[in-house]
Amino acid sequence: MTTIAIAADGLRKTYRGVPALDGFRLSVAAGTVCGLLGPNGAGKTTAVRILATLLSFDGGRAEVAGADVARRPDLVRERIALTGQYSAVDGSLSGRQNLVLFGRLHHLGRRAAQARADELLEQFDLTGAAHRSASEYSGGMQRRLDLAASLIRAPQVLFLDEPTTGLDPRSRNQVWDTVRKLVTEGTTVLLTTQYLDEADQLADRISVVDSGRVVAEGTPDELKAAIGADRLEVVIREPDRLHEAAALLARVEGAAGTVDVDPDVRGLRFAVTDRVVALTEAARALREAAITVDDLGIRRPTLDEAFLSLTGHRAEKEETR
Residue spans of the domains in the chain: they are 4-221, 231-300
Task: Determine the Cα–Cα distance for residues 9 and 1; give it in Å rounded to an integer.
Answer: 20
Q: What is the pLDDT of residues 82-133, one digit of tens each?
A: 987 777 889 999 999 999 999 999 899 999 999 999 999 998 889 999 999 9
User: Which CATH number applies to 4-221: 1.20.120.1200, 2.102.10.10, 3.40.50.300, 3.30.70.890?
Assistant: 3.40.50.300
Query: How many Cβ atoms from other residues are within 10 Å of residue 265's Cβ?
Result: 11
Task: Determine the Cα–Cα distance for residues 103 and 153; give it in Å rounded to an integer.
Answer: 8
Task: Determine the Cα–Cα distance for residues 213 and 207; give it in Å rounded to an integer.
Answer: 10
**Residue 318 exposed, middle or buried by CB count within 10 Å (0-12, 13-18, 19+):** buried
201 or 314: which carries more pLDDT confidence?
201
Which helix (H) or strand (E) is 17 found in, with range? Answer: none
Report pLDDT for 317.
46
pTM for the structure as a whole? 0.75
Task: Determine the Cα–Cα distance for residues 173 and 157; give it in Å rounded to an integer.
Answer: 21
Summary mean pLDDT of the chain: 88
Report pLDDT for 98.
95
Q: Which CATH topology does 231-300 take?
A: Alpha-Beta Plaits (3.30.70)
